[in-house]
A = this chain, B = another copy of it.
Amino acid sequence: MSNALKAKELLIRAVECDQNARILEAQTLYTEGIAQLMQFVNGEPDETKRKGFLIRIKEYMDRADAIKARVNGKLMLGEVVSHVSINENDTGFDYDQLFGKYMDDKTVEIMLEEPYMTQNYQYQNLVRFLELAATNCPNLKYFRLITKEYQDAKNPDQQRTNLGQIKGDLERRNITVAIKYEDSLHDRKIYLSNGYIIKIGRGLHFYKATNPMYSIGLVNYKFRKCLQTDVDIWRNSSAAS
């Protein structure tokens, strides 16, 4: 497909998502579409045509900026709806029990900011979170993961391979996935498009390993000992919009 066609397709989908309140996906699509259009314009020899395209690009950029403002607005914390302090070695907490009830059929998009995705148990925690999403959010259409890029010394492709497996699996379930690498990321956050924001100090990774391995708690994390962390759940002030 030519750059122009790719750009057109991406931008049509961006506008569709925008109109359907799927703002995270719209944001990704505008960015990708504009980049494609830029490439095409740069290869266009006709000065007049180029100027016409640049005006179109400016329009899309304005839309993308408006979307960005909406996304940032959504990410503003509103009122606290739940606070749980987990003490070191506490048990009884799994994702479902902590925040499952906020993941519902109104959740169309999810953004997860989770800096560390480098170890097997961390990919497992991600799958565990996504299984909860697949169970509770039948209308989920878009998932964005923001994490730090990581290159394992022995297996440099490990992170991309594992996240690629997860992406491929979700896309087979008709959930679009965007993975964004941000090396300065520190805070953990889960944004749900129904207006809830879940902030856990340690993100998804607040469990201790079972010791010995084959013990109650290997699979069912309600039996796992936890690390100390706080779980705050906020309802976005513009949730109704």
Residues of A within 8 A of B (CB): 123-124, 126-128, 130-131, 134-135, 162-163, 165-166, 168-170, 173, 212-220, 222-223
Question: Using Cβ atoms and an 8 Å threshold, which residues of chain B touch A127?
Answer: 214-216, 218-219
Q: Specify which chain B residues have a CB less than 8 angstroms from the CB of A123 in the assembled complex.
A: 214
> Which residues on the B side are within 8 Å of A130 (C-beta)?
216
Q: Do A215 and B165 touch (CB < 8 A)?
A: yes
Cβ-neighbour of A212 out of B168, B218, B220 (below 8 A): B168
Taken together as a complex, chains A and B put the C-alpha atoms of A218 and B166 apart, in Å, by 11
Distance (whole angstroms) from the CB of A96 to the closest CB of chain B: 10
> What chain B residues lie within 8 Å of A128 (beta carbons)?
218-220
What 4 pairs between A and B have smallest CB-CB spacing?
A: A169-B215, A165-B212, A131-B220, A165-B214
Bound-state CA distance A128–B173 (Å) is: 26
Chain B residues closer than 8 Å to A215, beta-carbon distance: 127, 165-166, 169
Contact B134 A223 (CB under 8 A): yes
29 contacts between A and B (CB under 8 A): A123-B214, A124-B214, A124-B218, A124-B219, A126-B214, A127-B215, A127-B216, A127-B219, A128-B218, A128-B219, A128-B220, A130-B216, A131-B219, A131-B223, A134-B216, A134-B223, A163-B214, A165-B212, A165-B213, A165-B214, A165-B215, A166-B214, A169-B212, A169-B214, A169-B215, A169-B216, A170-B216, A173-B216, A219-B219
Q: Which residue of B lies closest to A131 (CB)?
A: B220
By the criterion CB–CB under 8 Å, are A135 and B220 in contact? yes
